[in-house]
Amino acid sequence: MSRTIDCRFGLVVALIAALASLATPAVTVAQDDTHDVTFARDVAPILQRSCQDCHRIGSIAPMSLLTYEETRPWARSIREKVVSRTMPPWYIDKNIGLQDFKYDYSLSDEEILTISSWVDEGAPRGNPADMPPPRQFRDIAEWKIGEPDWVVEIPEPFVVAAEAPNWWGDLYSDSGLTEDRWVKAVETKPSLEGFPVVHHAVTSMEDPDSEEGDYNFLNEYALGKNGDIFPDGTGRQIKAGAKIKFNMHYSAIGVETTDRTRVGIQFYPKGVVPERKLISAHVGDDEDLDIPAGESNVRHDGFYRLKENAHITAFQAHLHNLGKRQCLGAILPDNTKEILSCADWDFGWHIVYNYEDHVAPLLPKGTLLHVTSWHDNSEANRWNDDPTNWAGFGQRSSDEMSFSWVSWYELNDDAFEQEVEERQALTDNNN
């Protein structure tokens, strides 16, 4: 290995560490004594930004938080949830790894202090004239990526009996495309009535003329997950005549339920070819899980080697009900190790953490992605149906899994060196 390559690896590690430290400064928030904290002036804007998408009539949360009258009865519960960072659902560890993410709706320390102070002061309304204008919301049934250019459904409605074993299978639909197109955003979603029975739906493209079968992943639906909007300049190509494969997992809920899952796609304009192909894949899969009864902190490790230089764009943990926490790390070819991100786990929220461009990890070919997962099979886990029973890997909702979804695009050596140099210049400018 040449000295030049050794230095490059060291530079990448230094960049990750430097940017992580820049992104996670120690925060000391002093309480503002110049005015009392009120709902109208101080709390309502926070709820609008980070809570009301879910906490409104017709959405998924159990209560609405649009008005003072709706919010006041829940004040102490809100305080407990935000202070513990249980809500809003954003489970990235604030003390480890990179911290700058796109679409980050978590609360700052200052916002948490504002809500806590408001509750401690008796949750006053304040002057109604201070209220911000009400938010305008999309209908809950609308696509999170915006209106798709193209929608493909599973071939027929699928009926899940009231009492039935878990069902896994692949359903195929013609895409209907008559020309090759590049995908900019994609979202897979169950029908409104089918939502409760869909454990997951993974969509991919299949080329009928290729012996390789599936040639490109599209998107995964799981609880709490929205669609994927690809970073600018990246995309996935879907070919004319392609079939869409829906890998479905249905679970009965005691009532006969019909589902018509579909995938919505937004395209780049015709003739536009993005510079980079975006890859999303399982990494660090570990199917040899051994989770003893009653144990609360059971660790497993998995690995994935990058064959090419990579710009990592997103990380998403994947565990089941016994999941507790997952970390994504990188072991570089010189054996230097870095933790990129850690996130606590809640099965109700399959959150994709999209790195901001200026901190997205740049990793040289040969890097091992290291996925470390922890499971909680004790009675302290409120999602655990039977803490007296051993648990292991399996496809059922009651079984366990351990892997990460990671997205990246590949770079040749020249492009990689250029991105590293640009990142270094950015770091120097911030110092």
DSSP letter for each residue of 102-163: ET--PPPHHHHHHHHHHHHTT-----GGGPPPPPP---TTS-TT-S-SEEEE-SS-EEEPSS
CA distance 64 to 58: 9
> Residue 33: enclosing H or E segment and its boundaries?
none
Q: What is the DSSP letter of 31?
A: -
312 neighbors 361 (Cβ within 8 angstroms): yes
Per-residue pLDDT tens digits of the chain, which is 431 residues long? 333 233 333 333 334 433 343 333 333 334 444 469 999 999 999 999 999 988 998 788 889 999 999 999 999 999 999 999 999 999 999 999 999 999 999 999 999 999 999 999 999 999 999 999 999 887 777 888 999 999 999 999 999 999 999 999 999 999 999 999 999 999 999 998 998 999 999 999 987 666 655 568 899 998 888 889 999 999 999 999 999 999 999 999 999 999 999 999 999 999 999 999 999 998 999 999 999 999 999 999 999 999 999 999 999 999 999 999 999 999 999 999 999 999 999 988 999 999 999 999 999 999 999 999 999 999 999 889 899 999 999 888 788 999 999 999 999 999 999 999 999 888 777 76
**pTM for this prediction:** 0.84
Look at the block and give the residue holding tokens 């902190």: 297
Give the phi and the psi of residue 181 in degrees, each rounded to 5. -140, 155
Gyration radius of the chain's alpha carbons: 23
CA distance 423 to 22: 13
